[in-house]
Structure 1
Amino acid sequence: MSAGFRRSGMSRRGFLGLGAGLAAVGVAQACGVRSAASSPVGPGSPQVAELERTRRAAGARVVDVPLRAKQATVDLGGVQVPTWVFDDRLPGPEIRLRRGDVLRARLSNEVSEDTSVHWHGIAMRNDMDGVPGLTQDPVRPGSTFTYEFAVPHAGTYFFHPHVGVQLDRGLYAPLIVEDPDEPGRYDAEAVIVLDDWLDGVTAGPDAKLAELRRDGMKMDHGGMSGMGHGDMGHGSAGGGASPLGADAGDVDYPHYLVNGRLATAPETVPAKPGQRLRLRLINAAGDTAFRVALGGHRMTVTDTDGFPVEPVEADSLLIGMGERYDVVVTLGDGVFPLVASAEGKQGQAMALIRTGAGAAPPADVRPRELDGGLLMADALSAAAPVRLAAGQPDRTHTVELGMDMSQPYRWTLNGKAFDEHVPMPVQQGERVRLRFVNKTMMFHPMHLHGHTFQVVGGQRPGPRKDTTSVLPMQTVEVDFVADNPGQWMLHCHNIYHGEAGMMTTVSYVE
Structure 2
Amino acid sequence: MKGINLKFILLMLAFVVTTINYAQQKKDLLTEIKGDTTVYHLNINKTKVNLAGKKVNAMSINGSIPGPTLKFKEGGFAVIYVRNNMDVETSVHWHGLLVPNYYDGVPYLTTPPIRPGHTEKYEFPLKQSGTYWYHGHTGLQEQIGVYGSIIIEPKEKKIAYDKDLVLVFSDWTNEKPSSVLKTLKRGSDWYNIKKGTSTPLNEVLKRRAFSAQLKFWKQRMESADIADIYYPAFLVNGKSVQNYTDFKPGEKVRLRIINAGASTSFWLTFGGDTPTLVSADGKNIVPVKRNKTFIAIAETYDFIVTIPENGRIEIRATSQDGTGKTSAFLGTGKKLVALDVPKPDKIEMMKKIAKMDMKMGAPALVFNSRKSDPYKMMKKYGMKMSSSKNKKMAGMDMIMKRTSKNLFSKYNYDYLKSPNKTSFSKDIPVKNILLNLTGNMQRYVWSLNGKPLSEADKIKIKSGEVTRITLNNLTMMSHPMHLHGHFFRVINKNGDYSPLKHTVNVGPMQKVTIEFYGNESGDWFFHCHILYHLVGGMARVVSYGTPRDTRLKMYPVSKIIDETNRFYSWSNADIASHMIGFNFTTSNIRNQFNITTEYGWNKNLESEITYERYLQSYFRIFGGVNFENTSKDNLNNITTTAVIGMRYLTPYLFNLDVRIDSKLRPDISLSRSIMIFPRTVIFGYYEYKANFNWSNKLPSGINYQKDITWNSGLEYIISKNISVFGSYDNRFGAGGGFSFRF
Normalised-by-shorter TM-score class:
0.7 to 0.9
1:257 aligns with 2:235: yes
In the TM superposition, residue 269 of structure 1 has moved relative to its aligned partner by 5.0
Q: 2:59 matched to 1:109?
A: no
Over alpha carbons, which structure has the higher Rg? 2
Aligned pairs for 1:326-365 within 5 A: 326-333=302-309, 334-354=311-331, 356-358=332-334
Is it true that 1:495 corresponds to 2:531 in the alignment?
yes
Q: 1:114, CA displacement in angstroms? A: 1.1
Deviation at 1:357, TM superposition (A): 3.2
Relative to structure 1, the CA distance from residue 151 to residue 346 in structure 2 (aligned partners, 3 Å threshold; closer, same or farther) is: same
Instruction: Give the conservation status (yes or no) of the 8 Å contact 1:123–1:484.
Output: no
**In the superposition, relative to structure 1, how do residues 395 and 367 fare at CA in structure 2: closer, same or farther (>3 Å)?**
same
- Aligned residue number for residue 139 of structure 1: 114
Residue 314 of structure 1 deviates from its aligned partner by 1.2
CA distance in 2, matches of 1:164, 1:78: 25
Q: 1:386 to 1:487 in 2, by over 3 A?
A: farther
Task: Give the aligned CA root-mean-square deviation in angstroms.
Answer: 2.3
Alignment match, 1:416: 451
Closer/same/farther in 2, CA of residues 96 and 140 from structure 1, 3 Å limit: same
Query: Paired residue for 1:64?
Result: 39
Q: Distance in 2 between matches of 1:379 and 1:488?
A: 28
Indicate conservation of the 8 Å contact 1:60/1:100, yes or no: no
Number of the residue aligned with 1:33: none
Which AA in structure 2 matches 1:420? E
* Structure 2 counterparts to residues 199-238 of structure 1, below 5 A: 201=174, 203-215=175-187, 219-220=192-193, 221-223=195-197
Note if 1:476 corresponds to 2:512.
yes
Does the CA-based 8 Å contact 1:290-1:343 persist in structure 2?
A: yes
Q: 1:436: how far off? A: 0.5
Which amino acid in structure 2 is aligned with residue 501 of structure 1? G
Kindly indicate whether residue 203 of structure 2 is the aligned counterpart of residue 167 of structure 1: no
Secondary structure, counterpart of 2:132 in structure 1: strand
Indicate conservation of the 8 Å contact 1:314/1:375, yes or no: no
Distance 1:82 1:397 in 2: 42
Quote the offset at 1:210 in angstroms: 1.8
| Closer/same/farther in 2, CA of residues 473 and 459 from structure 1, 3 Å limit | same
1:294/1:369 contact within 8 Å kept: no
1:258-293 CA deviation, whole Å, 9 max, x = no partner? 000113xx2425312222211000000011111112
- Cα contact 1:93–1:173 (8 A) shared by 2: yes
Aligned-residue offset at 1:433: 0.7
**Corresponding residue of 2:99:** 124
Structure showing the higher strand proportion among its residues: 2
Q: Structure 2 counterpart of 1:270, which letter?
A: D
- Rounded to whole Å, the distance in 2 between the matches of 1:393 and 1:299 is 41
- Deviation at residue 219 of structure 1 after TM alignment: 3.0
Native 8 Å contact 2:39 2:80 kept in 1 = yes
Secondary structure (helix, strand or coil) at the match of 1:395 reads: strand
CA apart distance, 1:130 = 0.8
Match of 1:396 in 2: 432
Shift of 1:103: 1.2
Greater relative contact order (Cα 8 A, min sep 6): structure 1 or 2? 1
Find the aligned partners of 1:129 and 1:423 in 2 and give their Cα distance: 18
Distance in 2 separating the partners of 1:488 and 1:413 = 16
Quick one: structure 1 residues 77 and 261, their matched pair in 2 at CA, closer, same or farther if it must change by over 3 Å?
A: farther
Instruction: Return the alpha-carbon distance in structure 1 between the equivalents of residues 481 and 278 of structure 2.
Output: 22
- Decide whether the 8 Å contact of 1:196 with 1:256 is kept in 2: yes
Letter in 1 for 2:462: Q
Aligned residues: 419
**64-73 vs 495-504, greater mean Cα deviation:** 64-73
Where structure 1 has 5 or more consecutive residues not aligned to the other structure, the ranges are 1-58, 226-244
Distance 1:128 1:114, change over 3 A: same
**Conserved 8 A contact 2:267-2:292:** yes
* One-letter amino acid of the structure 2 residue matched with residue 304 of structure 1: A
> Residues 307 and 459 from structure 1, CA distance in 2 versus in 1: closer, same or farther, beyond 3 angstroms?
closer
Separation in structure 1 between the aligned mates of residue 304 and residue 506 of structure 2, nearest angstrom: 26
Change beyond 3 A, Cα 1:121–1:95? same
1:255-404 mapped onto 2 (5 Å cutoff) = 255-263=233-241, 266-333=242-309, 334-354=311-331, 356-358=332-334, 367-368=338-339, 370=341, 378-385=413-420, 387-389=422-424, 391=426, 394-404=430-440
**2:481 pairs with 426, 435, 446, which one?**
446
TM-score normalised to the size of structure 2?
0.54
Amino acid at match of 1:444: H
Q: Deviations over 1:174-196 (max 9, x none)?
A: 01111021155111111000000
The equivalent residue for 1:465 is: 501
User: Which blocks of at least 5 consecutive residues in structure 2 are unaligned?
Assistant: 1-33, 200-222, 343-408, 547-742
- Other structure's SS at 2:516 match: strand
Q: Distance in 2 between matches of 1:386 and 1:464?
A: 10
Does the CA contact (< 8 Å) of 1:94 and 1:173 recur in 2? yes
**SS of 1:250 mapped into structure 2:** coil
Deviations 1:356-406 (Å, cap 9, x if unpaired)? 334x68xxxx623657xx97551233323362335476111111110257x
CA deviations over 1:28-87 (Å, ceiling 9, x no partner): xxxxxxxxxxxxxxxxxxxxxxxxxxxxxxx97221111111012345497654310101
* 1:302–1:327 Cα contact (<8 Å) kept: yes
